[in-house]
Structure formats: C-alpha cells, structure tokens
C-alpha cells in the first residue's frame, strides 16, 4: 500500500511543480523572454519521465515492504521536495524547468545560490531521483537511469553556465 500511495504523492508533486513551470514559462515568453537549450530541456524532460515510469514499474512489481531503505528514501525524497519548493519560492516567476532568460531577469543574490550554483539540481533533482528509487527499491532504474540522467544534466549545467556568464556581467 505504501508503494501506491508514494507513487500517487510523488506524481502529484511533480505535476504541481510542472504546472508552476508552465504558467511561468508562458508569462515569461509573452513578456519577450528567450529560451536557450530547448533540445537539452526536451531530452532532460523525457529522461525524467522515463526515470519516473521505470521506478514506478519496478516499485509496483516488487511491492517492497517498508524497511530502512524505504524510510531513508522517503527522507531523501522529502528533503528534495522541500528544496524544490524553496527554490521555486526564491526564484518566483523566473522558475521554470526550461532555461529561459527574461528581459528583466536579475541575478539571484540569495546566499544559497552564491554558495551552490545550481541548488535546484543538486538539492532537488538528484536527491529526488535517488530518493524515489530507494523508496520503490528500483535498483535497475537507479543503476541505469541515474547515470544517464546525470550525463544529460551535466550538458544542461554547461549550457546554463554559458548563458548566465553571457547574460550577467558579475556571474
């Protein structure tokens, strides 16, 4: 039962955040914002969906008992979701799952963003994927899907670093 409940909660959280992203993206583009790295964004989104579906499938097949791995996974996943909503709160209308730069985009001067360049990736996305796999005991998804995701995310981070350096003089 915990497996199905977790799958529903994890899916709902992702759809909620996707709704925020889509709303922000539409508003930003209507105001003249420019998207960068659209191909990488699409690839990252596709791999994210495949990762989730693979982990869900493994969890439904295994129907793992609640054990220390499940609880550790829930803690990691819960932390990552708190980080997601914190980042959304800090970035506000500029937060999307895509790499979009608005005409009035300002460099975020938040302390955590100065200390860790990409908190959304390192405090939300990567722990979220690990936590999801742990809760569902999705070992194949973690072993195969996570490295694939990391490679594509590294491409995205390089693109974002380039765009930020070109956009913000003091980046």
Q: Which domains does the chain have, with CATH numbers?
A: 2-164 (1.20.120.1630)
Q: Please name the helix (run of DSSP H) or strand (run of DSSP E) that holds residue 90, with its range, or none.
A: helix 68-91
3-state helix, strand, coil in the chain (%, to 5): 80, 5, 20
Tell me which of 54-58, 96-100, 115-119 is least confident: 115-119
Tell me the C-alpha distance between 118 and 144, whole Å. 23
pLDDT of residue 94 exceeding 90, the answer is: yes
Tell me the C-alpha distance between 83 and 120, whole Å. 7
Mean pLDDT confidence for 82-88: 97
Q: Please name the helix (run of DSSP H) or strand (run of DSSP E) that holds residue 87, with its range, or none.
A: helix 68-91
Q: pTM for the full model?
A: 0.94
Is the separation of the CB atoms in 74 and 128 below 8 Å?
no
């Amino acid at each position: 039962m915990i497996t199905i409940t977790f799958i529903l909660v994890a899916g709902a959280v992702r759809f909620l955040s996707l709704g925020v992203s889509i709303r922000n993206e539409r508003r930003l583009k209507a105001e003249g914002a420019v998207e960068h790295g659209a191909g990488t964004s699409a690839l990252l989104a596709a791999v994210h969906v495949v990762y989730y579906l693979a982990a869900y499938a493994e969890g439904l097949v295994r129907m793992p008992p609640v054990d220390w791995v499940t609880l550790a996974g829930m803690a990691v996943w819960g932390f990552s979701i708190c980080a997601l909503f914190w980042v959304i709160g800090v970035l506000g209308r500029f937060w999307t799952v895509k790499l979009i730069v608005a005409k009035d985009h300002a460099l975020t001067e938040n302390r955590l963003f100065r200390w860790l360049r990409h908190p959304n990736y390192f405090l939300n996305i990567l722990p979220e994927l690990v936590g999801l796999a742990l809760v569902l005991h999705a070992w194949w998804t973690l072993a195969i899907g996570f490295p694939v995701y990391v490679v594509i995310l590294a491409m995205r981070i390089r693109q974002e670093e380039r765009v930020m350096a070109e956009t913000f003089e003091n980046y």
